[in-house]
Structure 1
Amino acid sequence: MKPVAVAFGAHEHAPPLRWTRDLAKALGAPLRVLSVVAPTSAEAPPEYFEELDEQRRTQIASDLSEAGINDAEIVLMNEHKPLGAVAAYADEHDLAACIVGSPQEGGLGEGNPANYLLHHTHIPIAMVGNEYEPLDGGVFVVGVEATGTVSPALRMASDLASATGGSVHAVHAYESISEDEAERFREMEASLSSQVSVPLQFVPLAGHPAGVVIDHAKEAGAAAIVIGTRGSGGFLGLRLGRVPSQLLNHAACPVIVVPHSDDAA
């Protein structure tokens, strides 16, 4: 199983760390903890910097122990461009996913860390804030097209629901609906349900894709929102940075963005 990583800087990291612990446990995946800080400019002997790293490692190990994590691999990085270092590590080490905190808590530089990683890696990226619902038995809300086919995002949502004893709510946004479309939606629900091994509810809602997903996730008390980057990974015509960015900026629950197969190639 590919490892799952959580990356953070010098600021608050407990919420994404605990969420990633639960995710790795559910998936049976190894956990890696990436601590990335800018190197100090002080002139000092090598022993001084080694001591700083050891203090950081000890503190992280203590935080891991408090979170009930005893088998994570700690990776220390001293980089002037923390997010660039995380992106390079993610691609070089073939991670299953990388989790970061919100811009306020992540401490990985200016801007949204998840957005940066989505533009510079080819793996699923998740962003976790201070509050979230448990993964066990949770509802995973995923944006889907009106195609009846299982996208990479829906597949991940299904896998997470299977691993946690949860369910999937497949949300489809539309502008208007006719009697013929209502019948097509019923056929889509049957088609999608037959292709996954977990309880699936098809939820067609009128409105903007990001808005209806956020509203439904809040109403359902979702454990996470799962969205694709473009095309059949999420909503028709979706491009990286549009609906995913809106979800990352406004959703109250964790958001997992899954690259479309074309993007990951």
Structure 2
Amino acid sequence: MERIVYLNGEFIVESEAKVSVFDRGFLFADAVYEVTAVLGGKLIDHQGHLARLERSSKELGIKMPVTGDQLMDIQRELIKRNDLVEGGIYLQLTRGDEGDRDFSYSDDIEPTLVLFTQARSLINSPKTQSGIKVISFDDIRWRRRDIKTTSLLPACMAKHVAHAAGAEDVWLIEDGFVTEGGSSNVYIVTQGNVLVTRPLSNDILHGITRASLMKLAQELNLTIEERLFTIEEAYDAKEAFISSATTFVWPVVAIDDKPIGNGKPGDIALKLRDIYIKTALELAE
């Protein structure tokens, strides 16, 4: 059966969902997006994703065509129509279509809003038990990574290189320091049990899962340092892990073929993952 998707005010089967070839999201990646996890048929961290979407669209001057309440209703209807129990909802908001290709755009252009569901196993992901391997890779993305745009070609190319090398993901390096993963925030735990992650700035995405993990880490009385760190420091870490909306927390067991710690998922990463999922389920909408 075909999925039901949302496109500009309509719920339609995916084969009938059409976007103009002149849409600026297609021509220029002039668009922002969000991915919200779904567990038990409910949305996880919805308010955080909504706030980031509104910020991203404001930073680029893209109009929001619906209110936050309307967006919640749209997502709930998609969950219902597609019988989604576990997975995610992808949302993409483009500047819209002005009828031809032109670098400049008018302020009154009407945006394009698309949402669709993706069913996948999140809680029982095998990556939780095995951990993932990553490689380091030069970060060649633009300098406003705090805006969640669809300009993802550098990340796609980096992940392709990682997969060809037998790894699951990349840790990106800029000016000698780790920025983030191919589609995730990254963390290390030092030998002294200090949780280290890069501070928020224009250089990284302000992860919604990251924000929740920082609160949980504080509640667990973990020592946290938000600072820059090098890949060499990561090699020597006791633990490493990533976070994102649909991975929650995945342990990293090797970087550039160098085992992290004992080469197995670390206790702190697994504990944060368990507590995050438990808390997220309690607060799901």
Provide TM-score, normalisation by structure 2: 0.27
The structure carrying a bigger strand percent of its residues is 2
